[in-house]
């Protein structure tokens, strides 16, 4: 029988992908760990990662070429004797595939949870669609049964289960807590600092216009840069005709997944065509660290025309720099956070996107208002300082459940 006293020597152990892997969840975990350590200075925050993870306090043990990849992880957990185990889950991160390429349906992840069940377990899934497929629904059900606390990013993901699970004849789990995607609050620059940022990023020497619309981040097929690229020439002319202002489209980022290479090449070709006309610029950089935030900060507003997001690291960075934005709706976490923050405009078709871009470019007061809304939302709802307090609450609930043998029961959303 384990004891659960508040021994400060016990570490928080996160399980996740981790840099230098170019993975959005790895980057998320790197930031979460940084702020968790600040909010828990009395104990170490350690990471068990895939074999390509590196850094102090990082144990690269997850070898997805092994069916039993979970065994070394469970053994390390036993050795570390953690205060809590906090797992970042995404289906592809823990999918073992055999020599035929057939996956195990994340069976290894659920087996890991069973193997470490003596310890307080908090799992944070990064993809929980509003309309779950049968496999997803079954996995989420099993995940909740095998965890003390499960963290969803958005409220709709939780209340949708009250519709989805009864449809299968299942009871809705009560150990689900909503904790939003954390966002940095230390990456904001004033208007007077933007010229220096432009110079630092090498954007002054390419002749970037004073006013900038940005599409910034990893270049992936689901981000659909082509939607705005195909209408930018017309939009640029309308803005110039009405305001007399020169606006540039800054498309900046890099390809991460070779599966998206065809779209990457086509979209880059289109940006370069617009660049030759003097109305857009392409800037290739790895969207990580300070450079990612700075590239966002030099834009007047951001367009994020994504077609598949349950939550978004790109949006977290937009919020961090308090930049008004335009994104697709209705679309899972993007729509939810836009409604909650009142910091962006939504579009559902190409004509709406065009009109929203024109409206944002014409109206500086609107941009300022949306930016102020994002500042409030960041400070009060999604800053890492706020999120880490919720993490620590989840840890206490998980530990209490282990100590008492009573499962966590939280209120329903509706």
- At the top level of CATH, the class of 12-182+384-404 is alpha beta
> Residue 313: which region, alpha, beta or left (left: phi > 0; alpha: psi -120 to 50)?
alpha
Number of residues that make up the chain: 414
Dig out the tokens for 217 from the structure.
């981040």
- Is 3 exposed, middle or buried (CB count within 10 Å of its CB: 0-12, 13-18, 19+)? exposed
The predicted structure's pLDDT at residue 311 = 80
**Strand-pair category, 58-62 with 301-304:** unpaired
**CATH pick for 191-382 out of 3.65.10.10, 3.40.50.2000, 3.40.50.300, 3.30.70.270:** 3.40.50.2000
Q: Which residues contact 228 (CB under 8 A, 6 or more apart)?
A: 213, 215, 249, 303, 305, 353, 357
13: nearest Cα among 112, 105, 144: 112
Q: What is the pLDDT of residues 40-80, one digit of tens each?
A: 999 999 999 999 999 999 999 999 999 999 999 999 999 99
Average pLDDT over residues 24-29: 96
Q: What is the pLDDT of residues 216-271, one digit of tens each?
A: 999 999 999 999 999 999 999 999 999 999 999 999 999 999 999 999 999 999 99
Could you give the angle at which helices 332-341 and 313-320 cross, rounded to 10 degrees?
Answer: 20
Give dist(CA 38, CA 266) in Å, integer.
43
291 neighbors 313 (Cβ within 8 angstroms) = no
**Number of alpha carbons in the 13 Å side-chain half-sphere of residue 65:** 2
Q: What is the pLDDT of residues 339-351, one digit of tens each?
A: 999 999 999 999 9
Q: Is residue 140 pLDDT above 50, yes or no? A: yes
Mean pLDDT of the chain: 96
Q: Where are the domains of the chain?
A: 12-182+384-404, 191-382
Q: How confident is the model at residue 96 (pLDDT cuts 50, 70, 90)?
A: very high
214 neighbors 303 (Cβ within 8 angstroms) = yes
Q: What is the pLDDT of residues 107-119, one digit of tens each?
A: 999 999 999 999 9
114: nearest Cα among 64, 67, 172, 70: 70
Same fold, 12-182+384-404 and 191-382: yes
Q: How confident is the model at residue 280 (pLDDT cuts 50, 70, 90)?
A: very high
Give dist(CA 408, CA 150) in Å, integer.
10
Q: Is residue 2 pLDDT above 70, yes or no? A: no
Q: What is the pLDDT of residues 8-20, one digit of tens each?
A: 689 999 999 999 9
Q: How confident is the model at residue 1 (pLDDT cuts 50, 70, 90)?
A: very low
- Biggest alpha carbon distance in the chain? 75
Q: Is residue 354 pLDDT above 50, yes or no? A: yes
10: nearest Cα among 120, 113, 114, 117: 120
Can you give the pTM of this predicted structure?
0.95
Average pLDDT over residues 207-212: 94
Give dist(CA 278, CA 274) in Å, integer.
7
- Is 327 exposed, middle or buried (CB count within 10 Å of its CB: 0-12, 13-18, 19+)? buried
3-state secondary structure the chain: CCCCCCCCCCCEEEECCCCCCCCHHHHHHHHHHHHHHHHCCCCCEEEEEECCCCCCCEEEEECCCCCCCHHHHHHHHHHHCCCEEEEEECHHHHCCECCCCCECCCHHHHHHHHHCCCCCEEEEECCCCCCCCHHHHHHHHHHHHHCCEEEECCHHHHHHHHHHHHHHCCCCCCCEEECCCCECCCCCCCHHHHHHHHHHCCCCCCCCCCEEEEEEEECCHHHCHHHHHCCHHHHHHHHHHHHCCCEEEEEEEECCCHHHHHHHHHHHHHHHHHHHCCCEEEEECCCCHHHHHHHHHCCCEEEECCCCCCCCHHHHHHHHCCCCEEEECCCHHHHHHHHHHCCEEEECCHHHHHHHHHHHHHCHHHHHHHHHHHHHHHHHHHEHHHHHHHHHHHHHHHHHHHHHCCCCCCCCCC
The predicted structure's pLDDT at residue 4 = 53
Q: How far is CA 280 from each of CA 129, 176, 240, 306, rounded to the nearest angstrom?
A: 35, 45, 14, 20
The predicted structure's pLDDT at residue 223 = 96
């Amino acid at each position: 029988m384990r004891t659960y006293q508040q021994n400060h020597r016990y570490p928080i152990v996160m399980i996740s992908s981790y840099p230098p892997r170019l993975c959005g969840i790895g980057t998320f975990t790197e930031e979460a760990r940084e702020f968790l350590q600040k909010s828990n200075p009395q104990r170490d925050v350690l990471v068990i990662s895939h074999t390509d993870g590196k850094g102090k306090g990082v144990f690269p043990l997850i070898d997805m070429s092994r069916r039993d990849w979970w065994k070394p992880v469970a053994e390390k957990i036993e050795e570390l004797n953690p205060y809590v185990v906090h797992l970042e889950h995404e289906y592809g991160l823990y999918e073992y595939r055999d020599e035929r390429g057939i996956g195990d349906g994340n069976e290894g992840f659920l087996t890991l949870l069973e193997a470490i069940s003596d310890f307080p377990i908090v799992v944070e899934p990064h993809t929980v669609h509003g309309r779950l497929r049968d496999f997803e629904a079954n996995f989420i059900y099993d995940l909740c049964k095998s965890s003390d606390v499960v963290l969803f990013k958005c409220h709709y993901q939780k209340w949708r289960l009250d519709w989805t699970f009864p449809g299968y004849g299942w009871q809705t789990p009560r150990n689900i807590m909503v904790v939003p995607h954390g966002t940095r609050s230390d990456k904001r620059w004033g208007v007077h600092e933007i010229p220096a940022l432009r110079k630092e990023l090498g954007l002054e020497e390419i002749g970037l216009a004073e006013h900038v619309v940005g599409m910034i981040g990893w270049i992936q097929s689901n981000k659909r840069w082509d939607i705005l690229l195909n209408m930018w020439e017309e939009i640029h002319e309308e803005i110039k005709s009405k305001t007399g202002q020169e606006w540039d489209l800054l498309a900046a980022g890099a390809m991460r997944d070779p599966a998206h290479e065809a779209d990457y090449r086509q979209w880059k070709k289109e940006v370069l065509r617009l660049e030759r006309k003097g109305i857009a610029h392409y800037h290739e950089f790895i969207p990580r660290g300070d450079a990612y935030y700075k590239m966002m900060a030099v834009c007047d507003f951001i367009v994020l025309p994504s077609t598949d997001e349950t939550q978004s690291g790109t949006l977290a960075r937009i919020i961090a720099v308090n930049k008004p934005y335009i994104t697709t709706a209705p679309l899972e976490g993007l729509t939810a956070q836009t409604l909650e923050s009142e910091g962006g405009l939504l579009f559902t078709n190409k004509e709406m996107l065009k009109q929203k871009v024109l409206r944002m470019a014409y109206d500086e007061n609107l941009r300022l208002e949306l930016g102020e809304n994002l500042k409030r939302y960041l400070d009060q709802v999604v800053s890492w300082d706020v999120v880490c307090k919720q993490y620590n609450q989840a840890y206490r609930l998980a530990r209490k459940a282990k100590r008492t043998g009573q499962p966590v029961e939280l209120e329903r959303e509706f």
